[in-house]
């Protein structure tokens, strides 16, 4: 993509996002999902590519917003940190089960020996399903079938049974070619609500950007607070998001545009 293309957001939702955040940086707080929103989906969880400019652009946009930018993801907090190092953003990981506030304070659902045993049994029980990948995320576990779509139904049943066996503190979370078992108290909408109670998010209107079922709770929260919600990519399921953006590439373009506009404003002011 040329520099020129990079600075031209490609759809109405991202153009509005750019205008809002450039014109009123003190008014908005930005909540971004990672996979399928900031990053293109890949065949396996570790095959994702982080464009070199993305961490830099995120840091610049965060700076423009006075730090009111958080990543809200199904990834673990430590994995998400690794993607954007050396920057350390406020991050809600494991769909909200892990939480790092803007001041660096963290909280997390504890792992239990029972859940560890369950994860080991899950690996054994799915070993015959060639192509199914088990992603151990600590207090959550994901079973991916992107490389083995034929196991969709069988895997869903196994994961449903395991989630039930894990007890009420755990719940089944379907996603894109994945079934996860996550702590039931994890919720992206609640994570966004928690951020909005604290500086520098306090008093701002939320903009939630995501692509998957787990993002619907943060869309609903953003809508209820008079903010904006943007669903990225093609829609195979219903959404309560108020706007749609075509792709992660459009979102990255928007961030690059906001970052560049901020740099121009700073240069003009100095
Ligand atoms: O909330 P997110 O940041 O969107 O994370 C959701 C899940 O993303 C990852 O899985 C998805 O992306 C993979 C890489 O592109 C892809 O192979 C997989 O099919 C997708 O479901 C991640 O592996 C999960 O742990 C996240 O919960």
ipTM: 0.99
Ligand 1 mean position, distance from CA 270 (Å): 42
Beta-bridge partner residues of 144: 133, 178
- What pLDDT digit, counting tens, does each position of 194-247 carry? 999 999 999 999 999 999 999 999 999 999 999 999 999 987 789 999 999 999
Question: Which option is the CATH number for 113-183: 3.50.50.60, 1.10.260.40, 3.30.70.1020, 1.20.1070.10?
Answer: 3.30.70.1020
Domain ranges of the chain: 3-109+186-269, 113-183
Which one from 11, 23, 26, 33 is the annotated catalytic residue? 33
**Predicted confidence (pLDDT) per residue in 124-161, tens digit:** 999 999 999 999 999 999 999 999 999 999 999 999 99
- Look up 215 and say whether it is catalytic: no
Which candidate, 94, 75, 72, places its Cα nearest to that of 83? 75
Residue 49 phi, psi (nearest 5): -115, 130
Q: Which atom of ligand 1 is nearest to the CA of 35?
A: 4
- With a Cβ cut-off of 6 Å, ligand 1 is lined by 33-36, 41-45, 48, 73-75, 135, 137, 142, 144, 146, 175-178, 180, 212, 214
> What is the homologous superfamily of the domain 3-109+186-269 according to CATH?
HAD superfamily/HAD-like (3.40.50.1000)
Q: Find the 37 Cα to ligand 1 centroid distance in Å.
A: 10
Which atom of ligand 1 lies closest to the CA of 137? 25
pLDDT surpassing 50 at residue 1 = no
Pull the structure tokens for residue 175: 């996603």
Same fold for the domain at 3-109+186-269 and the one at 113-183? no
CB-CB neighbours of 150 under 10 Å: 11
What is the pLDDT, as a whole number, of residue 105?
A: 96
Which residue(s) pair with 243 in the sheet? 230
Could you tell me the distance, in angstroms and rounded to a whole number, from the CA of residue 197 to the centre of ligand 1? 28
Which atom belonging to ligand 1 lies closest to the Cα atom of 214?
1
Q: How far is the CA of 224 from the centre of ligand 1 (A)?
A: 26
* Alpha helix (H) residue ranges in 148-208: 152-166, 188-196
């Amino acid at each position: 993509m040329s520099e020129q293309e990079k600075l031209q957001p490609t759809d109405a939702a991202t153009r509005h996002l750019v205008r809002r955040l450039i014109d009123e940086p003190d008014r908005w707080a930005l909540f971004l999902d990672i996979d399928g929103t900031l990053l293109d989906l890949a065949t396996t969880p570790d095959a994702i590519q982080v464009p070199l400019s993305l961490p830099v652009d995120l840091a610049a946009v965060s700076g423009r917003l006075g730090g009111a930018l958080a990543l809200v993801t199904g990834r673990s907090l430590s994995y998400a940190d690794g993607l954007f190092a050396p920057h350390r953003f406020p991050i809600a990981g494991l769909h909200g089960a892990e939480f790092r506030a803007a001041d660096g304070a963290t909280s997390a659902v504890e792992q239990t020996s029972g859940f560890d045993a369950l994860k080991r049994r899950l690996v054994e029980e799915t070993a015959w399903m060639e192509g199914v990948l088990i992603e151990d995320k600590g207090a959550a576990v994901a079973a991916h079938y992107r490389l083995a779509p034929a196991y969709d139904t069988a895997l869903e049943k196994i994961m449903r049974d395991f989630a039930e066996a894990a007890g009420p503190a755990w719940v089944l979370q379907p996603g894109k070619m994945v079934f996860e078992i996550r702590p039931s108290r994890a919720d992206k909408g609640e994570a966004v609500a928690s951020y909005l109670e604290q500086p520098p998010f306090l008093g701002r209107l939320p903009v939630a950007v995501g692509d998957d079922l787990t993002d619907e709770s943060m869309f609903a929260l953003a809508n209820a607070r008079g903010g904006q919600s943007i669903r990225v990519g093609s829609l195979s399921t219903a959404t309560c998001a108020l706007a749609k953006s075509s792709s992660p590439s459009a979102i990255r373009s928007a961030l690059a545009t906001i970052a560049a506009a901020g740099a121009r404003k700073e240069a003009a002011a100095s």
